[in-house]
Amino acid sequence: MGYTKGTKIVLVILLLAIIAMSSFTYSYFQNVKTTKSVEEFDTNCFDIEYVSLTDGINLEKTYPIPDEEGLKLAPYTFKVTNICPYDMLVNVKLNMIKNTTLDAKYVKIALDKSLIIEPTLLSEFASVSYDEYKYIDSKLLKTVSLIPDETIEVDLRMWLDGDTPNSEGLNAYLSSKVEVEAYNK
């Protein structure tokens, strides 16, 4: 049986149309099966308790001071308790709020009591992820492991480094917030 050139073209086009329609129909009418019950997962416990024991630090009308004086300033004190039945890792972070104008290289930080950090420039701490709508930077001050029911109490002190030039320290503003995040060890 001989086919003419026109008949062959019509058959090829018809065959391609059938293949295209069957592919579309398969994807359009695909059969999907789902479970009939809701799957529930209980994480048991994934929580810490954070309590501020003092008011925040106010560096208003401050001036550059040596570390010896900075370590005598009134601290911001807080405590963190692992209220879960398993070990947790806790990150203590300091988030710089958007209205901050003071450069981190002029701010000294010290932690004591449960977490010991000698006076260190804020700029020397590692930057970590943060909410860009609220903050301009976030520094990881310390990571600590807490066993179940363990509590740490922390004194955070902050001051203008003694080497801060007046041109940088005068009329500058630092607004920050301590954030504590926990995750399973």
Q: How confident is the model at residue 169 (pLDDT cuts 50, 70, 90)?
A: confident
Specify the pLDDT at position 124.
96
The pTM for the full model equals: 0.71
Residue 28 lies in a domain: yes
Q: Mean of the pLDDT values across residues 119-137?
A: 92
Q: Are residues 53 and 118 in the same domain?
A: yes
Query: Which CA distances in Å does 20 have to 43, 65, 106?
Result: 48, 78, 68
pLDDT, tens digit, 9 for 90 and up, residues 85-101: 889 888 999 998 888 88
For the chain, the residue count is 185
Q: Are residues 124 and 156 in the same domain?
A: yes
Q: Are residues 144 and 57 in the same domain?
A: yes
Q: Which domain holds residue 17?
A: 1-33
Average pLDDT, the chain: 81
Single out the residue of 105, 104, 81, 82 nearest to residue 94, CA to CA: 104
Q: Are residues 26 and 52 in the same domain?
A: no
pLDDT over threshold 70, residue 83? yes
Residue 40 lies in a domain: no
Residue 10 lies in a domain: yes
Q: Are residues 90 and 23 in the same domain?
A: no
Specify the pLDDT at position 130.
86
Number of domains in the chain: 2
Residue 145 lies in a domain: yes
Q: Are residues 64 and 24 in the same domain?
A: no
Share of the chain above pLDDT 70, in %: 79
Strands of the sheet containing 135-146, edge to edge, are: 126-127, 135-146, 88-97, 176-184
Residue 38 lies in a domain: no
Q: How confident is the model at residue 111 (pLDDT cuts 50, 70, 90)?
A: very high
Residue 43 lies in a domain: no
Specify the pLDDT at position 138.
93
Q: What is the CATH number of the domain that holds 110?
A: 2.60.40
Residue 39 lies in a domain: no
Residue 87 lies in a domain: yes
Q: How confident is the model at residue 118 (pLDDT cuts 50, 70, 90)?
A: very high
Specify the pLDDT at position 147.
93
Q: Are residues 3 and 91 in the same domain?
A: no
- φ and ψ of 137, to 5 deg: -170, 160
Q: Are residues 23 and 62 in the same domain?
A: no
Q: How confident is the model at residue 38 (pLDDT cuts 50, 70, 90)?
A: low
- Which uninterrupted H or E stretch holds 142? strand 135-146
Q: Are residues 52 and 12 in the same domain?
A: no
Q: How confident is the model at residue 45 (pLDDT cuts 50, 70, 90)?
A: low
Q: Are residues 176 and 109 in the same domain?
A: yes
Q: How confident is the model at residue 7 (pLDDT cuts 50, 70, 90)?
A: confident
